[in-house]
Homo-oligomer: A and B are copies of this chain.
Amino acid sequence: MNFLSRPDQYKRALDISKRVVDIKRKLGLLDTLGTDIYRALYCEIPIVLHDLVFGGCLRSLASDEQLAQWLPNVVNYRWLGSYAQTELGHGSNVQGLETTIHYIVCTFIKETDEFEINSPTLTSSKYWVGALGKLCTHAIVFGQLMLADPKTGKVRSYGPHPVLVQVRSLEDHMPLKGIVVGDIGPKFGYNTIDNGFMQMDHIRVPRTNLLSRFFSVTRDGVYVPPPHPRLVYAGMVGVRVHLIEESFTALARATTIATRYSVIRRQFTDGPNGSLVERKVMDYGNQQNRIIPGIAASYAFLFMGRRLGIAFYSMMDVIKRNGDTSSMAELHALSSGLKSTVSYITARGIEDARYACGGHGYSEASGLPRLYSSYTHIITAEGENNILPQQTARILLKIYKDAVLNNTAVPAGPTTKYIVQELACPHTTLAQYMAEHGGNLVSIPNLVKLYRHRAFSQVANMARLLQEDPDVPMMERWRQLNVEAQRLSDAHCQLYILESFVTSLASAPADSLAALTRLCQVYALTHIDRSLADFLEDSYLDRSDIEVVRKGLRSLFAQLRPDLVGLVDSFNIADHTLASAIGRYDGQVYEAMLQYSLKQPFNSKPVVDGYEEFIRPLLKSSL
C-alpha cells in the first residue's frame, strides 16, 4: 500500500471493501455493522462510512416506515451512502442559523410535494464528505429547511435538516443530472477514503425523503418539531461513541508496535564497569514514559468506551420508545467532551509511540506514520475538538448554577451528581480526606476523590471567572475564556474515564488484576502530572505532592516493566493488521526492515530516473 499512487490505493480499498461485504454475506452478518471486521483491517475503507455513518444515521433518524423501505437496500449494499453535512465554507457552525446565506437550501415545493435542494454559492458546496467523492450512490444531505411560515406565508429557515438524496445512477454510477461531485484531493492521511465535494443545482426529492423519526413536514408544509432540538444531530452522537472505540484501536496498535520494538532495540551499555551487552531501550525511564501512559490510556479507553456505548444505546432505546429525552443533555455533555479529551490523548500517545521507535518510527515500514496521520483527523472531524468541550462546559455550568448559585434542587444525573455532592464535602485538602479514609496519594480511591474534587473545582472556578468583568458582554467573556472551558470539560471527562477504569477492575481476572491496577494508577497519575496546576490551584494537593506523583509514576513504571509485552500482546492484534516491520510478533525487526527497503519498486533500477536529465548535467557542468 505504501508504494501505490493515491488512485491505486483507493482501488485497493475498493477491492478490500468488496471482500469485506462478501465475508459479511457468507457469515450472515449483513445486518450488523461489522466493526470487528473493520478493526482487523490494516487501512480504512470507504464502505465503513456507509455502514457506520450513513447506516447509523438512518437507524437513528429515519422513521419506521422509512426504515422498512430503505434499510434492505442499505444492509444489502444495493445503495452505498454517505453523510453530507459539512460545506466548503461551514463546518462547525452546523446550526447555521438563518443569518447565513451560505448553507445549502432545501425548499419545500407544495405543488409537487417535493423538496428542492440547491447550493446557491461557492461556499455552500458540500465538502469533506466521506465516501461521497467516488463511491456513494446516496447521501444524507443536510440543508436549511425552508418552509412558508403558516401565519405570515413568508418562507423562512427551520435550520439544517437531513434529507435522503440519490447522487449517482444505480446503473452506470454516473452522477445524476444537476450534481457535480468528486474527490477533494490528497489529505494528511485517510487517503483510502474518498472525501468528496458536491454542488447541487435545483435537485428535487419527495417530501418523504426528509428523515422523519423525530421531526417532519406535513403535506401542507407545516413543520412538526422534534421532542428535543438536538435530535437532529443524534446521528453524530452515535458516531462519536464509535470514534472512542476507534481511539482505543489506534492507540493499542501504536503501543503494541512501540513496546515490541523497544524490547528488541538496544542502545548503550552501562559504561566501562557495566555489562558489555547494550540495554533494551525499554529500560530507560523516558522510554517508559513515552510508552506506558499510552498502554494505560488504551485500556482506559477500552473500558470507558464500553460503558459509554451501553449508555448511548439505552438512551436511544428510551427515546425511541417513549420520547423521554431527559438523559440527553448529560450524555451529550459527556460524549462531546470525551471525544475531545480522548482524541487529544490518543494522538499524543501515537506520536509518543512513534518517537519511541527512533528513526525507524519515521519510516512507513513501521506502520506508525500512517496510524498517526489517519487517526488525527478525529481531532477535527465530527465536532472540532476545541468547540465540543464548550458544549460540555455549558451544560456543567448550568447544573452548577442551578444547584449552587440558585440553590434550585436539580435532578443531577449519574455522571454529574458529583457537582452537588462535592459542594457538601467537608474536606478542603486531600490530606484531610486521607486522614479520615486512609491510603496514600496513589491509592485508587484517593485518586478518584482527587479527580472528583478537581472536576468540581474547575466548574466552580469557571463560574467565578465568568462573573468577573460584568461590563464585558457575556459572549465576549465566553470567547476569551474558552480555553478554561476546555479545562473544565477535560476535568469532567477524565473523572468519567477514571471511574470507568476503576469499575472494570472489579471484574478483572485475578492474574491480571495487579497489572491492570497499576495501569489504572499510571493513567490517573500521568494526567495529574500533565495538569498539576489544576490540583495545586486551590491547595487540594500540596506542592510537596508533585514529587510524590512523579515518584509514584517511576515506581509503577518499574513494577510494570516485566508485564509490558504481555499487556500489549493481550490486545491481540494480528501482524497483518499492524502491518509493521518493527512491531512483528516474532521480533525479526531488522530482517523485515531491510527486505522492505530492498524490495520497494523505487529500487528496481540501479540508477535513478532523472539521472540523465538532472544529475549527470550537474556532475559534469563545470568540467
Residues of A within 8 A of B (CB): 2-3, 5-7, 10-11, 14-15, 17-18, 21, 25, 76-80, 86, 88-93, 97, 99-100, 122-123, 125, 127-128, 134-135, 137, 170, 172-175, 182-190, 194, 197, 267-271, 274, 276-279, 283-287, 289-290, 354-355, 358-359, 361-365, 368-369, 372-373, 376-377, 379-381, 384-386, 473, 475, 479-484, 486, 529, 532-533, 536-539, 543, 546-547, 550, 554, 558, 590-591, 593-594, 596-598, 600-603, 606-611, 613-619, 621-623
Q: Given the known inter-chain contacts A175-B606, A533-B533, A618-B80, please indicate yes or no for A187 contacting B369, CB distance below 8 A.
A: yes
Bound: A40/B85 CA distance, A:
38
User: Closest B-chain residue to A354, C-beta based?
Assistant: B188
Provide a sorted-by-A list of 15 A–B residue pairs whose CB atoms are within 8 angstroms: A77-B619, A123-B590, A128-B359, A173-B608, A182-B598, A182-B602, A187-B362, A270-B473, A284-B482, A355-B380, A359-B380, A481-B554, A529-B533, A532-B536, A543-B543
Q: Given the known inter-chain contacts A17-B618, A621-B77, please indicate yes or no for A358 contacting B285, CB distance below 8 A.
A: no
Lowest 9 A-B CB distances belong to which pairs? A188-B369, A134-B608, A14-B614, A11-B610, A182-B603, A532-B533, A76-B622, A14-B610, A99-B276
Contact indicator B173/A89 (Cβ below 8 Å): no
Contact indicator B618/A268 (Cβ below 8 Å): no
Bound: A400/B547 CA distance, A:
21
Q: How far is the CB of A606 from chain B (nearest CB, A)?
A: 6
Contact indicator A278/B100 (Cβ below 8 Å): yes
- CB neighbours (8 Å) of A618 from chain B are 17-18, 21, 77, 80
Bound: A608/B137 CA distance, A:
13
Bound: A607/B133 CA distance, A:
10
Contact indicator B621/A386 (Cβ below 8 Å): no
- State which of B187, B270, B601, B609 has its C-beta within 8 Å of the C-beta of A475: B270
Contact indicator B369/A3 (Cβ below 8 Å): no
Q: Given the known inter-chain contacts A7-B602, A184-B597, A185-B2, please indicate yes or no for A18 contacting B614, CB distance below 8 A.
A: yes
Contact indicator A268/B92 (Cβ below 8 Å): yes
- CB neighbours (8 Å) of A170 from chain B are 619
Q: Given the known inter-chain contacts A539-B543, A602-B185, please indicate yes or no for A86 contacting B21, CB distance below 8 A.
A: no
Bound: A18/B3 CA distance, A:
26
- State which of B373, B532, B597, B610 has its C-beta within 8 Å of the C-beta of A182: B597
Q: How far is the CB of A456 from chain B (nearest CB, A)?
A: 17
User: Closest B-chain residue to A3, C-beta based?
Assistant: B186
- CB neighbours (8 Å) of A529 from chain B are 533
Bound: A3/B2 CA distance, A:
15
User: Closest B-chain residue to A191, C-beta based?
Assistant: B364
Q: How far is the CB of A185 from chain B (nearest CB, A)?
A: 5
- CB neighbours (8 Å) of A616 from chain B are 173
